[in-house]
A = this chain, B = another copy of it.
Amino acid sequence: MSGNDEIRLRDLGLTAGAFAVILVEPQLGENIGMVARAMANCGVGELRLVNPRNGWPNSSAFAAASGADSILNEASVYTSTADSIADLHTVLATTARHRDMTQDVYTAADAANFLRVGASKGHKAGVMFGKESMGLKNEDVSMANGIITVPLNPVFTSLNLAQAVFVVAYEWYQAGDITPAKSLAIPKETRLANSAEMQGLFDHLEAELTTTGFLRVKEKRSIMIRNLRNLLNRARLTEQEVRTLRGVIKSLARFSDQGNN
């Protein structure tokens, strides 16, 4: 790998220590390109090709890679599966169908954790994917330490090659990702309202609704106020939204004053 190539890989935001994607006898260049795109999506940069059917490099691959060209440029080509994995400490094989062999079977999510733990100990890993038409041969599968079978609708398990690579790489990315499960995105120019601002909104709304008579039934007043506060608190308003809502209340109240005149 030349210095320039390393820079190109870094420019794609790829992660050092990710597993190598090993395509065994891939048939279509287009699929190899889509694999490179899926790898780039997940920060996985190292692609190994064993006997690609239509030779290498392949222009259809570049056309389908959506800019993940540096992964294709850096891809290495091997003439046997054994050669392609020689330097790896951990090898997993992807299979959709059961091979009637004794093997450790991982989900994609657990394989991701397994590979991450291994990487943290310096183990170099690779995941093998078979040809589009029939997957990996049993003799290739038996070179692996375990297999990955993605849990999918058992009636319809067939993934295309790029989708298979994507799901393994996606899980690998998630296993190292720290995005909170759910968060409130707020535009830069504002911020969450604080409780004093929310209280100002409630006071304003309740005062106007007292004036209009909406809260006139004494025994329902406190429940009504509680319900309105709950729904507004549940939405987690920004300071800007509080101002907007106070404008809305003012506008409606004024219109109603005029209407009553």
Q: Which residues of A contact B (CB under 8 A)?
A: 11-15, 37-38, 40-43, 66-68, 98, 100-107, 109-110, 113-114, 146-147, 151-160, 162-163, 166-167, 170, 173-174, 177, 179-188, 190, 238, 241
Contacts and interface: CB of A to CB of B under 8 A. Distances in A.
A119 to B, nearest CB: 17
Residue picked from A67, A187, A190, most chain B C-beta under 10 Å:
A187
A163 to B, nearest CB: 6
Nearest to A103: B185
16 contacts: A12-B153, A12-B155, A13-B153, A13-B155, A14-B153, A40-B155, A41-B159, A66-B158, A102-B241, A104-B183, A106-B181, A107-B181, A109-B174, A113-B181, A151-B174, A163-B166
Given A182-B110, A241-B102, A153 B173 contact: yes
B67 A156 contact: yes
Contacts of A174: 107, 109, 151
Given A174-B109, A174-B151, A186 B102 contact: yes
A163 B101 contact: no
B156 A12 contact: yes
Number of copies: 2
A181 B110 CA distance: 5
Nearest to A34: B160
Residue picked from A15, A163, A188, A238, most chain B C-beta under 10 Å:
A163
Contacts of A170: 152, 167, 170
Contacts of A187: 100-102
A41 B182 contact: no
Nearest to A114: B182
Contacts of A66: 158, 160
A110 B183 CA distance: 11
A98 B185 contact: yes
A42 to B, nearest CB: 6
A95 to B, nearest CB: 10
